[in-house]
Amino acid sequence: MDPLQKLDQYLTSDNAPENSMAISDLDGFLTGVACLPEEISEEVWMVTALGDPDAVPDDIKKLVTDRFDEIHSILEQQSQPIEPVFWQMKEGHVIAMDWCEGFMDAVKLAPAAWKSKVETSEGAKLMLPILAHMFDDRGNSLFGLHQEEIDDTLA
C-alpha cells in the first residue's frame, strides 16, 4: 500500500485522534510548515496535524514526517513541482479547499513571519490561489468568486 494511502486509511479510521487532520488538510498543512519563513519545531506542528501525537502509532508519525521531509526537499531543491493531495469528485472535479485550509493552519503558526512575506508582490501572487479557496461559515468565497473562477486559479 502506498504511504499516503496508508496514512489516509489511518486518519479516516476510528483509531485516529478526533481532532487529527484528514489527508488533504494534512498535506496542505505540511506544505505550509515547509514554506514557513521561520522554522517551527516538529513537536509544535505535530500537535496541530495529529491532535494528540502521543496517541498515534510511531509508524504513522513516521509517515507524516516522511511526507514533510519529501515536501521540504522538493521545495529546497526546486527540482520538480509539489504534487498536492487534493480530494477528487467521482466526475473528476478537484477540491482544493481542504488542502488550502491546511496550508492556512500552518500560516497561523507564525502569522507575523508570514505577514512580511505576503506583503510583497511575489508573496501575494503565490498566496492568491490558496486564499481563493477559502470560504466563510456559509460556504461563500471570501473574495466573492464563483466556482469557475476558483477552479481557474489551479490552472
* Average predicted confidence (pLDDT) for the chain: 84
Convert the pLDDT of each residue in 25-78 to its tens digit: 999 999 999 988 888 999 999 999 999 999 999 999 999 999 999 999 998 888
**Sign of the torsion formed by the C-alpha atoms of 46, 98, 105 and 139:** negative
Q: Tell me what pLDDT residue 141 has.
A: 58
Cell 488538510 -> residue:
25
Residue-wise pLDDT for 92-114, tens only, equals 777 778 888 898 899 889 888 87
Q: What is the pTM of this model?
A: 0.82
pLDDT in tens, 82-91: 888 887 777 7
pLDDT on residue 120: 80
